[in-house]
Structure 1
Amino acid sequence: MLHHAPLLTTMAVGLVAAFILGLVAQRLRMSPIVGYLAAGLLIGPYTPGFVGDSDIALELSEIGVILLMFGVGLHFSFKDLLAVRKVAVPGAIAQMVAATALGTGVGLWLDWSLGAALLFGLALSVASTVVMLRALEDKQLLDTRAGHIAVGWLIVEDLAMVIALVVIPVLASDAAGPGAIAGELAWTLVRVGLFVALMLVVGKRVIPWLLAKVAGTGSRELFTLSVLAIGMGVAVGAAWLFEVSFALGAFFAGMIMRESDLSHRAADDSLPLRDAFAVLFFVSVGMLVDWRIVIEAPVALLVTTLVIVVGKSVVAFGIVRLLRYSRQMSLVVAAALAQIGEFSFILVTLGGEYDILPQDAQDLVLGGAILSIVLNPLLFAWAARAYRDVDAEAGDAAPRTYEGSEHVIVVGFGRVGTRVATTLWQKDVPCVVIDDDENRVNALRDDGREAILGNAVRSKVLRAAGLDEATTLLIAIPDPLNAGAIVSKVKTLAPNVRVVARGHEDVDIDYLTEMGADRVLVGVYEVADLMATDVLTEPEQA
């Protein structure tokens, strides 16, 4: 029966295996990505038992790439890049060149062609957005000077990879001779230029306007659908009309959507689907891994891992130090970059499609990625500890904590949180916002407001917001499960703090109350009560 539904079976088994192994990885204090890759390895053709459909997995990975690149575009910020351009731009370029050279040397040592060795080196040169941002946030370093440099560095790498996704197919084409390749490359750049111009001239006006119109309908379902339709529609349309990659189209769709005032809502609404297909992307990549590379080429795997973990970090450390930043800041930036991830996998997949990379090269990149992601938290924990143990110097910014008392903590700065916090500030009630969106937190701090970056389910984030000295904590996020986890954590750390949460229906009231919430407000009930009150008091006002 199952062989008649390969799509359903591959997705179901892949997601279940990813969930179990991702949870195990998290418990072992490793990135869940390690678990997702291991899940792919488990259902791949190189291990016994169930074997997923590789063709379907490849299709699912394409969707994962589109949504990953769409997310990168949604969070891409020229402002963040310009703020640290003097170190991020030259640093990223120099580090990528050095890492590519090291990787190329390894490839030539293994008797691969120059093209294969160069692509192998390029795949080792770019860090994982997911791994880096999670590591910076976990250590509360995302909003420090070191965090800003690391993120800016990553933006430059992402831009370089976007360019690579355009150039590699041209260089891999059957065009004869350098002149033909140059002509094909020029024509490709013209097509890309036309696509970019269309997005900047037309898309920049149409996409924000369309989002605003859909948001005006009041339908959350239609808004979410519009975000996904724009992201995937532009990606596929760009490939069809301009013959550019899905990834490039999705990146520009996200970047243009960022111009809308509704970009935060678009990012929030599309996040669950992006996360789900990102997991399937990592699973599909894991299916490509031949675990026998550990036995057949252990030295090559070790050298590859050393290039990623040691070579890249040493180069990054040296560059940041040369630019006269502190040793502690240099360590954080170096540790943040000492891994590879999703772009490396995209390049490996591309190299396989165009028969550039041999299977051994793909296995080494994937194996090196897994090992680097496993080792990175250990390296990063050491660097973060060194960063905190030394007083701020050479422009370093220490992680922010709230020092006041008798204040209110608002968790989430979406539509509800914004209204609540703004009202409290207008009434001169001391208020601290906790939000996991860096742009929101930075905007609040620019306005002189107190804001903490991070997930409120984490003890250190709650402590940074001054939980022990707070009177009330208001949970304004819409997800009851996450809210329940926060309630439980707050009541464990500070039982006397009053907790007010929001819900959507009766079951949320029961659940959040059971977790320890002092009061749960359900929107439809509160609106109904206000309407009734308005009707009952209107004659008196008249």
Structure 2
Amino acid sequence: MTGFLMLATLFLLAGVIAVPLASRFGLGSVLGYLVAGIVISPMLGWLHVDVTAIQHFAEFGVVMMLFLVGLELEPRMLWQMRSKLLGLGGLQVVVTTLAVAAVGIAFGLYWTIALTLGMVFALSSTAIVLQTLGEKGLLRSEGGQASFSVLLFQDIAVIPMLAFIPLLAMPSLMDAAPAAEHAAEAAHQSFSLVEGRPGWQVALITLAAIAAVIAAGIYLTRPVFRYVAMAGLREIFVATALAFVVGIALLMTAVGLSPALGTFIAGVVLAGSEYRHELESDIDPFRGLLLGLFFMTVGASIDFGLLLDNAVLVIGATLGLMLLKAAVLYVLGWVFGVTGSDRCLFALALAQAGEFGFVLLSFTVANDVIPQSIADIALLIVALSMLLTPGLFIIYDRIVAPRFLDTQQREMDQIQEPGKIIVLGHGRFGGIVARMMRALGKQMVVVDYSSKQLEMLRAFGVQAYYGDATRPDLLHATGIGDAKVLVVAIDNKDQTTEIVQYVRQNFPHVHVVARAFDRIHVYELFNAGAHDIIRETFDSSLRAARSVLEALGLTRPEAEEITDGFAAADQVHMRRLAEKWRPGITAHEDEEFVKNAQAATEELENQVRSIGTKIREAREAAGQTAPIAGHPDTAAAEDSAGDRDPPGYPAPAS
């Protein structure tokens, strides 16, 4: 027990110390975990810890991650990805396998060993890539989606690889090692439903297992989770969710399939379930902890003694492998229409070998396919390539992406008809303003800096121009000198303030309506001279508060009286505080400002409270002893109906 607690404490402390430091310097959590594993590896050796056994346990984090990824997809979305899933993913595995095999043969490896290494190195790290893409918000990008398609196909490709690799066995080429004993031990320790059965039975059992997973997801999960929810105990729901995922993984392993593939299928089936978000929130903490543990075991598994003895070979082979995979991925990305920086992201993200390499290399040694001495070197290459992967993402973030941003900017559009109303930014905020003005037939110039947004708008016949709103020459081209109103609705706080300052100084006759992101931004825009400052979430929050009041029993007029009173009082106090705010000083560190803000808050609360008191007294005078309950669902339906876009109209970009 003491040894287990010491080991758990060691891993937890290493992660807690290393990951925040790595994130602080923009290196990402994965590199932090890997470095933590490297640092504690001498202590693990001193404690005689079986790192490989811990790694196999931690690999379950990958299984959980694929389940959560599946929950984000629907079968329809998966069908839309079929060309990249089969074409891009299939070609990547085949071309990379053959390319690595050709290089291995050129360096004197026997063809069966070279081909097997090609299959091992063709796989990439699902854990590192999806974790990093998710952290950086790149998973939904074109490069992120292409990477996900290839990773999913690779997980599927492991199945035929496990069936094909034993056919390449060459016992005469093996080292003098008890490979047969290892194979027997592995068979003894594993539970299998298909071992020793003829091929047709294996196929039937495998199909039946997949069908059982799909059927359980469709017909069994809802009644089971509904029954468990009756207990009202969160821990029981968590236990049920874990049992569901673990059970699927066990079934997939028993029929010789990838457990990650099985849980991914289950996730896709449950993507439309009402329990989807609850499952995500319950499983995600376990996924995060296990993935962190897995990354640390990868760092700790690096045999630095063997690495130093074969430094030139291992480092050269690792860099050569990553360069070769990146080249193959880049060409395939070009063939399948992955463009610009996304193609570079796709090539760099998948250039490493993956965690399935550890499994396959152990499998190849047990089946007399690869000698132990070569497998040990290959394990180092896999681990080292995974260790270098966060560095590739840093290269993408700091070198590749900025260059594409600079070189791929399109020329600004020529604005033919300047307007009296100018709208800078046609997103979720400026788009609503533009739609209303357009409906009233007002002459207007709309400018946006997103090419994709403009292409979508023009497909629906909406006229908008491409340009950088922060450039004075573009403002002149829009006709700012003769304009009456300027609406600043771009998605950048500092640039919004700069535009307001420039226009107020140079075109004081223009009425400026500016979008504010928060209260401090209101103060900044007030000092910059904006005429009307609109907080982007203020009105919607007032409507939400009104719905809450109606749900508590107030009538619509009573709720509106309170929210209108709150809005009017807040506007007065906001202007008063804006005059007290001092630029360059953090608001909560300015004692005078804090005192004024506290006094304003107390005064506002008293004003709103007095409105509530007036409503209560009016009810009592009318003989109403209890509030008349409204129907919140009806009110919400009335509110949301006004927000719906007309059929066929493009939704503003977020």
CA contact (8 A) 2:63 2:263 kept: yes
AA matched with 2:327: V
Q: Distance in 1 between matches of 2:357 and 2:87?
A: 21
Residue 321 of structure 1 corresponds to: 334
AA matched with 1:306: L
Q: TM-score, normalised by structure 1?
A: 0.64
Deviation at 1:231, TM superposition (A): 0.8
Q: Distance in 2 between matches of 1:248 and 1:37?
A: 25
CA contact (8 A) 1:289 1:367 kept: yes
Deviation at 1:156, TM superposition (A): 2.6
Deviation at 1:243, TM superposition (A): 5.8
Residue 294 of structure 1 corresponds to: 307
The answer to whether structure 1 residue 227 and structure 2 residue 241 are counterparts is yes
Work out which of the residue numbers 237, 259, 269 in structure 1 matches 2:282.
Answer: 269
AA matched with 1:231: V
Work out which of the residue numbers 114, 117, 138 in structure 2 matches 1:120.
Answer: 117
Pairing 1:102-181 to 2, within 5 Å after superposition = 102-105=99-102, 107-108=104-105, 114=111, 116-137=113-134, 140-161=137-158, 164=161
Residue 384 of structure 1 corresponds to: 401
Q: Distance in 1 between matches of 2:231 and 2:494?
A: 40
Of all paired residues, the percent bearing the same amino acid is: 25
CA contact (8 A) 1:314 1:334 kept: yes
Per-residue Cα deviation, 1:121-167 (whole angstroms, up to 9, x for no partner)? 33332333344345545655443434333333333333324554676
The answer to whether structure 1 residue 404 and structure 2 residue 429 are counterparts is yes
Residue 83 of structure 2 corresponds to: 86
Q: Distance in 2 between matches of 1:188 and 1:382?
A: 50
Deviation at 1:83, TM superposition (A): 2.9
SS in 2 for 1:149: helix
Q: Distance in 2 between matches of 1:325 and 1:261?
A: 34
Seen in structure 2, the aligned counterparts of structure 1 residues 350 and 275 have a Cα distance that, compared at 3 Å, is farther
The answer to whether structure 1 residue 197 and structure 2 residue 211 are counterparts is yes
Seen in structure 2, the aligned counterparts of structure 1 residues 85 and 338 have a Cα distance that, compared at 3 Å, is same
Work out which of the residue numbers 356, 364, 367 in structure 1 matches 2:384.
Answer: 367
**Moved >6 Å (runs of 4+):** 45-48, 169-175, 460-466, 492-497
Deviation at 1:58, TM superposition (A): 4.6
Deviation at 1:249, TM superposition (A): 4.5
Seen in structure 2, the aligned counterparts of structure 1 residues 47 and 269 have a Cα distance that, compared at 3 Å, is closer
Q: Distance in 2 between matches of 1:463 and 1:123?
A: 49
Seen in structure 2, the aligned counterparts of structure 1 residues 372 and 198 have a Cα distance that, compared at 3 Å, is same
| Cα RMSD (Å) | 4.5
CA contact (8 A) 2:345 2:396 kept: no
Deviation at 1:31, TM superposition (A): 3.5
Seen in structure 2, the aligned counterparts of structure 1 residues 127 and 374 have a Cα distance that, compared at 3 Å, is same
Seen in structure 2, the aligned counterparts of structure 1 residues 27 and 374 have a Cα distance that, compared at 3 Å, is same
Residue 5 of structure 2 corresponds to: 8
AA matched with 2:278: R
Seen in structure 2, the aligned counterparts of structure 1 residues 381 and 333 have a Cα distance that, compared at 3 Å, is farther
Pairing 1:35-114 to 2, within 5 Å after superposition = 35-44=32-41, 49-54=46-51, 57-58=54-55, 60-61=57-58, 63-75=60-72, 77-105=74-102, 107-108=104-105, 114=111
Seen in structure 2, the aligned counterparts of structure 1 residues 311 and 471 have a Cα distance that, compared at 3 Å, is same
CA contact (8 A) 1:336 1:380 kept: no
Seen in structure 2, the aligned counterparts of structure 1 residues 220 and 272 have a Cα distance that, compared at 3 Å, is same
After alignment, is 300-309 or 160-169 more displaced? 160-169
CA contact (8 A) 1:66 1:247 kept: yes
CA contact (8 A) 1:46 1:291 kept: no
Deviation at 1:370, TM superposition (A): 0.9
Q: Distance in 2 between matches of 1:494 and 1:171?
A: 71
Residue 236 of structure 1 corresponds to: 250
Determine which structure has more spread, i.e. the larger CA radius of gyration.
Answer: 2
Deviation at 1:195, TM superposition (A): 0.7
Q: Distance in 1 between matches of 2:43 and 2:368?
A: 20
The answer to whether structure 1 residue 258 and structure 2 residue 345 are counterparts is no
Q: Distance in 2 between matches of 1:218 and 1:495?
A: 45
Give unmatched runs, 5+ long, in structure 2. 170-178, 184-194, 412-424, 433-490, 496-514, 522-533, 545-582, 589-600, 603-615, 630-654
CA contact (8 A) 2:354 2:382 kept: no
Deviation at 1:282, TM superposition (A): 2.3
Seen in structure 2, the aligned counterparts of structure 1 residues 48 and 301 have a Cα distance that, compared at 3 Å, is same
AA matched with 1:272: P
Seen in structure 2, the aligned counterparts of structure 1 residues 350 and 72 have a Cα distance that, compared at 3 Å, is farther
Per-residue Cα deviation, 1:253-282 (whole angstroms, up to 9, x for no partner)? 444443523223212221001111122222
Q: Distance in 2 between matches of 1:470 and 1:291?
A: 57
CA contact (8 A) 2:101 2:118 kept: yes
Q: TM-score, normalised by structure 2?
A: 0.54
Deviation at 1:354, TM superposition (A): 5.8
CA contact (8 A) 1:41 1:289 kept: yes
Seen in structure 2, the aligned counterparts of structure 1 residues 145 and 367 have a Cα distance that, compared at 3 Å, is closer
Give aligned pairs, total. 424
